[in-house]
Chain A
């Protein structure tokens, strides 16, 4: 395996630090509060080997999720695949630097930010990721949006259908002063894959960050999304919608840190669960002592389409400032039978009525997709998966 030949000292040090950390804590267990409902023993026990090189289906998979007119960075089995990427539409002022990139220099922000936006002590899988940086398996994306810049990033996770693998991804995002970053995550891994992903973002003064997460794949998914509002007047949106059937597990842990005054946050997570699927939603909001005039809103809703589907929903508000507006709501339920009847009484079949209600339920989050081609792609996948999952349940 090719390894980073001239790893700079700072990177070696961060890798070793992460490696030591992971050796100390190991894989999390259900005895830990943050992992209480999510047993990742299948990942720990499987002893996955590091993936190497490309595989036959990679080009087809990547072209199936390509978005025309955008830059495309293909990462296959943890390694940047130049042949499957498309950087021809590179606008002025954008730099894309890989760890092996010869053009890298001290101004690219890598040393300053890489492995610094998240806290390896709090995220064992992220520590594992960092310890393997550029050893061929870690997918690590660092985005540094300079002051007053604007960027939209869509990240799609896709694997060969029915294959069993473990994907451990980390993204760190730094939103500079007045910058605008939209970050879309489309998790459509193989139904038998394990997917652990961590997105951590810092937003500086008047910066605007939006994360939109769409999840339809994987046997076990664990998403950790943490956003720190680090400058006055920062704004963030953290939305997600997920689907699960069978015995799948969808675990989302979000954390919002209102560290400065006059910041706003909007969070909506929605889940549709069929079969014996399980979901975990843990939404933490911290409003620090100095963060006066905070306006934070969190909503978590889940639809259970079968008697055996379950969700553990846990909003966690920790508010230390006194002049703030914080609201949260959680609702878990079945499809509204009166609404179903109303639609049927106008001539829609039960299936059509149900689909209309499910689309409306997910629509609130899907509406956040501002790139038409991407929206169509994600919506199509979402509703196709939904049709399949729900048909199996019915």
Chain B
């Protein structure tokens, strides 16, 4: 599904990612952990095609295609979804209207008929029910005036409607209380399937109690320094990130 090879990324003249190698197979859930400034979010944003993140070296193959060659919207229509760490408020753009446009853009790409308002609402109502999200979120402007928790729930809601093949969650747990965290995690778990992969970027192991990953990778100073199973997250919880350097990993 996704092969990242020696990926180097620069942000404003500073090299943040210094050669990432990562393979995500279909149906797997990978957690990317690491201390602040290790490059976790940079990896997520580079995968989504954010223009502020310049790829200087390396390769990303998604579903057999060169992901780095695609514009952000092409990546989305090809099935890559990023849940933002800081979802953007867009006054005047109705949430449902936007989501309908996004879903139809993807359906068009897939050669499917665009959904009209009625069919779209059917899809949406069902997802809202599963996610235990209130209908009123549809009527509001995208993220405008949303609380931190509402914004993250809205991201999960978008993800549920767009049904991506690869979902990248960029610190979706940050700033959430335990109830909101549960809603987010339940949403993700409801979507886990053999056809769908997840990359979950998080600072804390807490989220991984709810979204249990198949693999855990530790990022430090722009490189993956350790990879392992779920137990690695628990170890990090106990011992912290100290010592998880490139040097430490070689021991």
Contacts and interface: CB of A to CB of B under 8 A. Distances in A.
A347 B73 CA distance: 4
Interface in B92-110: 92-93, 98-99, 101-103, 105-106, 109
A347 B101 CA distance: 8
Nearest to B50: A341
B49 interface: yes
A150 interface: no
Contact of A357 (B84, B93, B106): B93
A69 to B, nearest CB: 26
B82 interface: yes
Nearest to A346: B102
Most chain B CB inside 10 Å of its own CB: which residue of A341, A345, A363: A345
B11 interface: no
Chain A interface secondary structure, helix, strand, loop or mixed?
A: helix
Q: Which bucket holds chain B's interface residue count?
A: 20 to 34
Contacts of B76: 344-347
Contacts of A352: 73, 101, 105
Interface in A94-147: none
A360 B50 contact: no
Interface string B62-84: 00000000011101110001101
A346 B162 contact: yes
Given A344-B72, A347-B77, A352-B101, A339 B90 contact: yes
A363 B90 CA distance: 13
Nearest to B75: A345
Given A339-B90, A363-B92, A350 B84 contact: no
B84 A342 contact: yes
Contacts of B87: 342
B102 A347 contact: yes
A60 B110 CA distance: 43
Interface string A313-346: 0000000000000000000000011110111111
A356 B101 contact: yes
Interface string B98-124: 110111011001000000000000000
Nearest to B161: A346
Contact of A364 (B72, B92, B109): B92
Most chain B CB inside 10 Å of its own CB: which residue of A336, A348, A361: A348
Given A343-B98, A344-B76, A347-B73, A360 B105 contact: no
Interface of B: 48-51, 71-73, 75-77, 81-82, 84, 87-88, 90-93, 98-99, 101-103, 105-106, 109, 141-142, 158, 162
19 contacts: A339-B88, A341-B88, A342-B84, A342-B142, A343-B98, A344-B71, A344-B73, A345-B48, A345-B49, A346-B102, A347-B76, A347-B105, A348-B101, A348-B105, A349-B71, A356-B93, A356-B101, A360-B93, A364-B92
